[in-house]
Chain A
Amino acid sequence: MTLILQLAINGLVFGSLLGLVALGLALVFGVMRLVNFAHGEFITLGAYATYLLVTTTGVSPLWGIPIAALLGATIGLAVQMLVISRLAGRPELEALMATYALSIVGLGLFALAFGGDFRTYSAGPAGNVTLAGVVVGWRSITVLVACVIVGAATLALVSRARTGLGFRAVAQNREAAAACGVNVVASERLAFSVSVALAAICGALISFIGTTTPNVGHEWLLDGFVVVIVGGLGSISGALVAALAIGLLHSFASYFLDDSWAQIMTYVLLYVALLVRPHGLLGARSAT
Chain B
Amino acid sequence: MLDVRNVAVRYGQALAVRGVSLRAETGSWIAIVGPNGAGKTSLARAICGLVPHQGTIAIAGEDISKLPAWERQRRGIGYVPEGRQLFGAMSVEENLRVGAFSRAGAEVRRGLDEAFALFPRLAERRMQAAATLSGGEQQMLALARALMDRPNLLLVDEISWGLMPLLVAQVFERLAALNADGLTIVQIEQNAHEVLRRATHAYVMAAGVCVFDGPAKSVARDPRVLESYIG
A residues within 8 Å of B by Cβ? 162, 165-166, 168-169, 172-173, 175-185, 284, 287-288
Query: Given contacts A179-B50, A181-B149, is CB(A168)–CB(B87) below 8 Å?
Result: yes
Bound: A180/B85 CA distance, A: 11
Given A169-B101, A180-B73, output 14 extra A-B contacts at Cβ < 8 Å: A165-B97, A165-B98, A166-B98, A166-B101, A177-B98, A178-B70, A179-B50, A180-B101, A181-B74, A181-B99, A182-B98, A182-B101, A184-B70, A284-B89
Does B81 lie at the interface of the complex (its beta carbon under 8 Å from any beta carbon of A)?
yes
Does B68 lie at the interface of the complex (its beta carbon under 8 Å from any beta carbon of A)?
yes
Query: Given contacts A179-B73, A184-B70, is CB(A168)–CB(B102) below 8 Å?
Result: no
Q: Is the CB–CB distance between B86 and A176 below 8 Å? A: yes
Q: Is the CB–CB distance between A178 and B50 below 8 Å? A: yes
Bound: A247/B149 CA distance, A: 45
Instruction: List 21 contacting pairs A-B, 8 Å CB cutoff, sorted by A.
Output: A162-B97, A162-B101, A166-B98, A168-B87, A168-B90, A169-B101, A175-B81, A179-B69, A179-B73, A179-B81, A179-B85, A180-B70, A180-B73, A180-B101, A181-B99, A181-B102, A181-B149, A182-B101, A183-B68, A288-B88, A288-B131
Q: Is the CB–CB distance between B73 and A181 below 8 Å? A: yes
Does B201 lie at the interface of the complex (its beta carbon under 8 Å from any beta carbon of A)?
no
Which residues of chain B are within 8 angstroms of A176 by Cβ–Cβ distance?
81, 85-87
B residues within 8 Å of A by Cβ? 48-50, 68-70, 73-74, 79, 81, 85-90, 94, 97-102, 104, 130-131, 145, 149
Which residues of chain A are within 8 angstroms of B81 by Cβ–Cβ distance?
175-176, 179
Select one of A162, A165, A172, A178 contacting B68, CB under 8 A. A178
Bound: A181/B70 CA distance, A: 4
Bound: A222/B90 CA distance, A: 31
Instruction: Please name the residue on chain A nearest to B49 by beta carbon.
Output: A178
Which residues of chain A are within 8 angstroms of B86 by Cβ–Cβ distance?
173, 176, 288
Bound: A214/B87 CA distance, A: 41
Which residues of chain A are within 8 angstroms of B97 by Cβ–Cβ distance?
162, 165
Instruction: Please name the residue on chain B nearest to A183 by beta carbon.
Output: B70
